[in-house]
Structure 1
């Protein structure tokens, strides 16, 4: 069994052509170049690639593995004739329709869910925290539900698509919400309740299997972990690491001090997630306790206060506080993308900047 409170991160990234700066379908070639030093996998489209850290115990180990994974993947991409880009959607669209996947499972998803897969091309960041059993994973899922909009707001990194500002800080969240198994999960009574609902969704045809449970937080289908999936792919290595440490602290806090509040209303939670996707951390968010609009930075500060004891134990409280102060001064990744596009209206320059930030 995975030791308690370990953490691992899966990062999905784009492959872009160095000349056109558009996504390029070279995932098979990049996987071949990457070898087996790191856990590198293909994704929903051949324009995307995923790299996962091993199971990590300390924050320093996690940071090193996130950085090393990106560096290794960037070298493999260069050898395959493309560049690695950390954005949750591509600022420049694909040059034509994507080729069909040769993965049997993805082909089945294409057949059963029709246009949903072809319109994807979004990249997220998934954080796994080791848990002792399924019921603990459900306790953590229930406790983190109210914080999902804040976690999204902290990671927004997809404002520009097809050279146009979408008006959203996370357009990825809007695209991804089309899937029948996406969004915030319901409040579960137990692990058995979760299993019953998933079986019913599979029976309905909405899901092919447990792997298509795309809720923003879920018990992992393949590992003894709880998996938080709400985030855009953060822009820099530091932002990935800080996000992962916040998720670990939330899981620790939830398991050790289960909440006694009434579950958040799912309609209000959906509205809060939409607002987080639109405005990100630099705007206002919905307080899921009251329904009132408040500065999103205040919600983030409340999240840190809520997890302060756990962050102290992992030695990350000052790191997280410093990062939130840095975000106040510099803006979210979405804000930084927009600023770069204002400085130079050519979206190819924005792609170049994103490629540079990927290894920053």
Structure 2
């Protein structure tokens, strides 16, 4: 049973309700050819029971859960959102896939026709033609100075979160050599990657203002750091992840992130500031995680050296276990982590599918995983 207690998991003091919400981005494809389908406006218009958001490319669509008080509630909302976007896509003659990059690339000039996206295309040229799908986890931290300190605490865990959710090894029908090719594409944007170590909200705002002033970004919404303060919500937003292959993995990511945020708040409240990790080293660690995914060593926040992935994940789980036990999410998180480590994440499954049956088999596997665990078998057969 999930605890409804809203007290500090480490100190017993009354605390803020750490509500959580998730945004997932999906690629739309033609079910017959497997090519990207430039139909996001049609899919969004035909959606029922869920508000779908347009993304940069016309072959992308985004779901947003309501604000949720618990991980089980969020898990239910994620299942419903995936079913809804799959149905809306099917009704428009396309298919929605939870994958970090398209198996076959879209044509150039597929930018969604909104004023802001057109401005981005005008400013950044071919860079805006890329199609990448991520997952963004929002956790409520309304005090912006506190949120910056939370960001500092989260930075060392970014490589592990990226490795765990990697789901984009294949593009143009071939293996890229990276478990998360999306990360490599995303890193080309001038404001992407791990955030700098910042002292305060004023420091954060000064860095962002300089990016705008120098023309590196159009506005605050283009701060694409892997952890950022939301430009329109009282949240810390963690956006390092590819969109996970399954809804179970997305719920797992949200559980890990929420527990990390709560644990970080407790650390800041008790006067423990995060030791800075050099930005260049952290970028390199994330790039290594993007390349190796679950198969290689990962940056270990405790030792600051590389360690086998299972050891790094075990350390992460141990670090946040008191928070997870307090919220009632420990058993779900432990079990879901064990499943991913045993069966593989999206990158592992895509590569196995490519080996067995080529790109067509990859598309079949991604399609099945996208709605796996969402609704009944009958619900999924109707998509």
TM range (shorter): over 0.9
Matched position secondary structure for 1:202: helix
Displacement after TM superposition at 1:154 (Å):
0.8
1:63 aligns with 2:75: yes
Q: How does 1:1-360 map to 2 (within 5 A)?
A: 4-35=17-48, 37-94=49-106, 96-118=107-129, 120-258=130-268, 259-288=272-301, 290-345=303-358, 347-360=359-372
Task: Tell me, yes or no, if the aligned pair for 1:10 and 1:50 is still in contact at 8 Å.
Answer: yes
Displacement after TM superposition at 1:58 (Å):
1.6
Task: Tell me, yes or no, if the aligned pair for 1:272 and 1:287 is still in contact at 8 Å.
Answer: no
Matched position secondary structure for 2:139: strand
Matched position secondary structure for 1:344: helix
Please give the root-mean-square deviation of Cα atoms over the aligned residues, in Å.
1.2
278-287 vs 180-189, which moves further: 278-287
Kindly tell me the number of residue pairs found equivalent between the two proteins: 354
TM-score under structure 2 normalisation? 0.90
- Runs of 4+ aligned residues of structure 1 deviating over 3 Å after TM superposition are 288-291
Task: Tell me, yes or no, if the aligned pair for 2:111 and 2:117 is still in contact at 8 Å.
Answer: no
**Separation (CA, whole Å) in 1 of partners of 2:160 and 2:192:** 17
TM-score under structure 1 normalisation? 0.96
The answer for unaligned runs of 5 or more in structure 2 is 1-15, 373-383
Matched position secondary structure for 1:257: helix
User: What does the per-residue CA deviation read over 1:162-196, in whole Å, with 9 as the maximum and x for residues that have no partner?
Assistant: 00100000000000000001000111110111011
**Separation (CA, whole Å) in 1 of partners of 2:360 and 2:120:** 32
The answer for unaligned runs of 5 or more in structure 1 is none
Task: Tell me, yes or no, if the aligned pair for 2:44 and 2:51 is still in contact at 8 Å.
Answer: no
